[in-house]
C-alpha cells in the first residue's frame, strides 16, 4: 500500500466486495517505503541489527496499515476492525526475520465476520510461544493472506499486487510476454521459486498445502470497477488440472539474478560427503538452491551449489573456514556473477525433447551452461549473469510463448 490515497482506494475495493455480500478478511502490507525506512534506521544504528528487535521494529509498518485501512473503511460506512498478528493470534516459530506460521486461531475473526464486520489483519508477522513478535520475511504479507484464507476456509484468496497476473516471463525483459488466465499450482510453485517475483514462494506453498485457489490481481485498476471485470483479470492459481486450458509443454520462463555459485574442487569422494559440505551451510541458516555433484576420477569429486547472492559472503566464509579443512577439498572456487534461467511447464511431463531444445537454443546464442538442474516440470540452468536477458528472450521465442496459445 502506498499513500493515504492508496489506502482509501484499497478501502473502496474492499467495501465493494463487502457490499456484494461477501465476508472479507484483508491482509494489507506496509505502506510503500515504510519497511525500508524502518530498516534504514535500524542499519544506521546497528550494522547487523538484532533479529528480535528488527521484528519488533519492522512489524510496526503493517500495524500502521491495518489501523488506517480500518479507519478508511469506517469512513465509507463499513464496520471494520483491525488486528495485529499477536491479537488473532497467528502463532509462528521463533525464527526471527523468517518465521514460519504454525497455527491461526480463527475464533475472534469469525465472530467479527458474523457481526458483519470486515476484519483487517497485519500481514508479514505473528507471535511466538514466548509472546515475541516475529516476522515472516520478504513477501510475508502474501503468505499471511493465504494462511489466513486457509484457516478461515475462504472460497478464494485474492492477492492484489503491482502486476496484473502471472506472465509467461517478466514483461520488463520480454515485451512479448503474455498474461496467463490460469496456471497450475505446480507451475506457479516453480515460477515463484525460480524468481518470478509475482508471489513469494511460501505463499504459493501455503496455497498448495491447503489447496486454496489464489488469484493474483492488479491493485492499480479502478477500485470502483465491477466485480466481474475484476475477476476476469489477473491469473488464477488452480488445483484442477482440467481447468487449465493451455496445455503447452512450456508455460513460462523464470529467472533469478540473485544467485551465487560455490564449488569445492577435488573433494575426496566418500559416503556422506554432501552432508559434510551442506550441513555447516544449513547450520548457518543459508538456503541452498541448485546442487550439482560431478562424477570424478582419482577418488575425488567436484561439488557445486548456489545460494542467494545476499548470503554469498557468509557462505564463502563457512565453506573456506569450516568445510574445506574438514573435508580436505583442494580448492574453493566461487562466483557471484551467475544467474538462473528456467523453463517451466506441466506439459513437460508428457513431452520429450524439451530440455534439448533449451540447451540448443542457449548454445545457438553462444551461452555457456555452468550447471543444470531438472525436475518433473522444469529445467534450470546456471549461466553467467550478463547473458540473462538474452537467454530469457531466446527461450521465450524458441518455446513459442510470444504467440497466444504458443509453445511446442
Measured CA to CA, the distance from residue 333 to residue 184 in angstroms comes to: 38
Site string for a second copy, 40-79 (x = CB under 8 A): -xx-xxx--xx-xxx-xx-xx--xx-xxx-xxx-xx----
Q: In angstroms, give the least distance from the CB of 7 to a second copy.
A: 7
Nearer to a second copy, 74 or 247 (CB): 74
Could you give the CA distance from residue 320 to residue 318 in angstroms, rounded to a whole number?
6
Q: Binding marks (x or -) toward a second copy, 21..40, rule CB under 8 A?
A: -----------------x--
The residues in 181-240 that bind a second copy, with binding defined as CB under 8 A, are: none
CB nearer a second copy, residue 69 or residue 395: 69
Nearer to a second copy, 112 or 187 (CB): 112
Residues that bind a second copy (rule: CB under 8 A) add up to a total of: 36
Minimum Å gap between C-beta 92 and a second copy is: 15
- Tell me if 131 contacts a second copy by CB under 8 A: yes
**Cα angle 200, 205, 211; round to 5:** 125
Phi, psi of 108 (to 5 degrees): -65, -40
Judged by CB, which is closer to a second copy: 69, or 344?
69
Cβ burial, residue 197 (10 Å; 0-12/13-18/19+): middle
- Main-chain phi, psi angles of 105, to 5 degrees: -90, 120
Which of 26, 133, 204, 217 is close enough to bind a second copy by CB under 8 A?
Answer: 133
CB of 82 to a second copy, least distance (A): 5
* Minimum distance of a second copy from residue 111's CB (angstroms): 11
Closest CA to 346 of 207, 208, 250: 250
Question: Which three cell numbers, joined as nine digits, stand for 163?
Answer: 502486476
Q: Which of 13, 16, 18, 81 binds a second copy (CB under 8 A)?
A: 81
Name residues whose C-beta falls within 8 Å of residue 124's C-beta, 6 or more positions apart in sequence.
29, 30, 58, 59, 61, 62, 135, 136, 140, 141, 144
**Least distance to a second copy, CB of residue 155, Å:** 27
**Binder of a second copy out of 9, 23, 35, 82 (CB under 8 A):** 82
Least CB distance from residue 66 to a second copy, whole Å? Answer: 7
CB of 4 to a second copy, least distance (A): 5
Tell me how crowded residue 292 is: count the other CB atoms within 10 A of its CB. 16
Which among 130-138, 167-175, 309-317, 400-408 is the span making contact with a second copy, rule CB under 8 A?
130-138
Q: How many angstroms separate the CA atoms of 250 and 253, rounded?
A: 8
- Segment interacting with a second copy, rule: CB under 8 A, options 80-88, 231-239, 248-256, 350-358: 80-88
CA distance 287 to 291: 11
Please list, in sequence order, all residues whose beta carbon lies within 8 angstroms of the beta carbon of residue 112, skipping any fewer than 6 positions away. Answer: 81, 119
- Rounded least distance, CB 8 to a second copy, Å: 7
Q: Is the peptide bond before 89 cis (omega within 30 degrees of 0)?
A: yes
Per DSSP bridges, beta strands 80-83 and 235-238 are: unpaired
Stretch of 125-133, 165-173, 181-189, 221-229 lying at the interface with a second copy (CB under 8 A) = 125-133
Closest to a second copy by CB, 53 or 365: 53
Are 215 and 166 in contact, with CB atoms under 8 Å apart?
A: no
Q: How far is the CB of 49 from a second copy (least distance, A)?
A: 5
Question: Please, what's the largest Cα pairwise distance for the chain?
Answer: 76
Binding site for a second copy (CB under 8 A): 4, 7-8, 38, 41-42, 44-46, 49-50, 52-54, 56-57, 59-60, 63-64, 66-68, 70-72, 74-75, 81-82, 84, 86-87, 131-133
Amino acid at each position: 500500500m502506498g499513500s493515504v490515497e492508496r489506502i482509501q482506494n484499497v478501502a473502496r475495493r474492499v467495501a465493494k466486495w463487502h457490499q456484494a455480500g461477501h465476508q472479507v478478511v484483508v491482509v494489507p502490507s506496509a505502506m510503500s517505503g515504510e519497511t525500508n525506512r524502518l530498516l534504514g534506521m535500524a542499519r544506521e544504528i546497528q550494522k547487523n541489527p538484532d533479529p528480535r528487535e528488527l521484528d519488533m521494529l519492522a512489524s510496526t509498518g503493517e500495524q500502521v496499515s491495518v489501523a488506517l485501512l480500518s479507519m478508511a473503511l469506517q469512513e465509507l460506512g463499513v464496520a471494520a476492525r483491525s488486528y495485529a498478528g499477536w491479537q488473532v493470534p497467528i502463532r509462528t516459530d521463533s525464527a526471527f526475520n523468517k518465521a514460519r506460521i504454525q497455527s491461526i486461531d480463527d475464533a475472534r475473526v469469525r465472530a467479527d465476520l458474523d457481526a458483519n464486520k470486515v476484519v483487517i489483519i497485519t500481514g508479514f508477522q505473528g507471535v511466538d510461544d514466548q509472546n515475541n513478535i516475529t516476522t515472516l520475511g520478504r513477501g510475508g504479507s502474501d503468505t499471511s493472506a493465504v494462511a489466513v484464507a486457509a484457516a478461515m476456509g475462504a472460497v478464494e484468496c485474492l492477492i492484489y499486487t503491482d502486476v496484473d497476473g502471472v506472465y509467461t516471463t517478466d514483461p520488463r525483459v520480454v515485451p512479448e510476454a503474455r498474461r496467463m488466465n490460469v496456471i497450475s499450482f505446480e507451475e506457479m510453485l516453480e515460477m515463484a521459486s525460480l524468481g518470478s517475483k509475482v508471489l513469494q514462494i511460501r505463499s504459493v506453498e501455503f496455497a498448495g498445502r491447503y489447496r486454496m485457489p489464489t488469484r493474483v490481481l492488479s491493485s492499480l485498476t479502478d477500485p470502483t470497477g465491477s466485480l466481474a471485470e475484476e475477476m476476469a483479470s489477473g491469473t488464477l492459481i488452480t488445483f484442477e488440472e482440467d481447468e487449465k486450458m493451455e496445455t503447452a509443454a512450456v508455460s513460462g520462463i523464470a529467472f533469478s539474478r540473485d544467485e551465487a555459485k560455490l564449488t569445492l574442487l577435488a573433494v575426496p569422494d566418500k559416503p556422506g560427503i554432501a552432508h559434510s559440505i551442506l550441513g555447516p551451510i544449513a547450520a548457518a541458516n543459508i538456503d541452498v538452491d541448485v546442487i550439482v555433484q560431478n562424477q570424478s576420477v582419482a577418488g575425488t569429486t567436484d561439488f557445486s551449489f548456489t545460494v542467494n547472492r545476499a548470503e554469498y559472503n557468509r557462505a564463502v566464509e563457512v565453506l573456506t573456514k569450516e568445510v574445506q579443512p574438514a573435508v580436505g577439498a583442494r580448492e574453493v572456487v566461487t562466483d557471484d556473477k551467475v544467474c538462473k534461467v528456467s523453463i517451466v511447464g506441466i506439459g513437460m511431463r508428457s513431452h520429450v525433447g524439451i530440455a534439448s531444445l533449451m540447451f540448443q537454443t542457449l548454445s545457438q546464442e553462444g551461452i555457456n551452461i555452468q550447471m543444470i538442474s531438472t525436475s518433473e516440470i522444469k529445467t534450470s540452468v546456471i549461466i553467467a549473469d550478463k547473458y540473462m536477458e538474452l537467454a530469457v528472450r531466446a527461450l521465450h521465442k524458441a518455446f513459442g510463448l510470444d504467440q497466444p496459445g504458443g509453445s511446442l
